[in-house]
Amino acid sequence: MGGGLTAAAAVLVPYSGIGIVDAVWAGAAGSSVALAWWRWSDHRALAATPPPPAPDPALTGQRLAAAIERFPAGRSVMNEMRRQKNRYVLRGSAVALAWDRLDRASATLTGLAGRLTGPGEGALLEAATAEHWLRDLGQRVASIERAIPITPVEGRAAIEQSHASLADQFTTGVDAFERLVAAAASYVAEDGHPLTEGAHPALSSLIDATDRLRGLAEALTELKRPPAASVRPERTAAMERPEDVAGSAGTNR
């Protein structure tokens, strides 16, 4: 564009002199050339700048996971992916069944977490600490179990004994975690009961409100219904038979 405007100004100015239109052509040409030179300088400076280092794949993955977990559905998907990843690592292990029990108990406790208020809040922190320890222990057991086949025969007995001890400890810990979840469910159930015998105050209020609305509806129906015996005297006199009226007139005579 700058070259075209410069060429037009170079041709038109000598041909017809400098006028208002020619001044516009010349100004546009000069501005375009200056802008082109400025952008070319920026291009040279940018080309001389070394490229930035490649981002860390782990950091990129963490940012992507954090962006997905901002949404409730994304959080559920990420939790399920982590669970399946850990479950794949433990496939065929002696603690695989106990690991599945731990997953179910953890999911149940997550559903109860919003209702564990007051004294129950301290149990959530203890449960989170215990779950972290159990998952680390389960992965440790699976790692030792994979190392048993490649261990020399003379040292295999000691590793198998340690593996059995850790596996038993993991199973016992899962049993205790399940009992904790059951106790949390009992706390939530009892916390929802009223303090006195009978129905919950909210249920009693709901029944009372229903009765009041039903009574108001019946009262409005009675007010809008016409009375059954509201017969006007004029209409009664008009409905008498003519002969009765004539007979009564003769009697009066």
> Distance between CA 87 and CA 82 in Å, rounded?
8
pLDDT digits (tens, 9 = 90+) for 23-32: 666 666 667 7
| Tokens encoding 115 | 């209702």
CA 227, 229, 230, 231 torsion: positive or negative?
positive
Cβ proximity of 173 and 134 under 8 Å: yes
H or E element: which one contains 232? none
- Of 5, 44, 32, the C-alpha closest to 21 is 5
- Give CA angle at 26 (23, 28), nearest 5°: 105
pLDDT digits (tens, 9 = 90+) for 152-204: 888 889 999 999 999 999 999 999 999 999 998 888 888 766 655 666 667 77
Q: What does the domain layout of the chain look like in residue ranges?
A: 2-46, 72-191
Residue-wise pLDDT tens for the chain (253 aa)? 545 555 555 555 555 555 556 566 666 666 776 777 777 777 777 777 887 777 666 666 677 777 776 777 777 777 777 777 777 777 878 888 999 999 999 989 988 888 888 777 888 888 999 999 999 999 999 999 988 888 888 888 999 999 999 999 999 999 999 999 999 888 888 876 665 566 666 777 788 888 888 888 888 788 777 766 554 555 545 455 555 545 554 544 4
Which residues lie below 8 Å from residue 147, measured CB to CB, with a gap of 6+? 159
Which residues lie below 8 Å from residue 135, measured CB to CB, with a gap of 6+? 86, 102
Task: Find where tokens 């159930």 sit.
Answer: 189
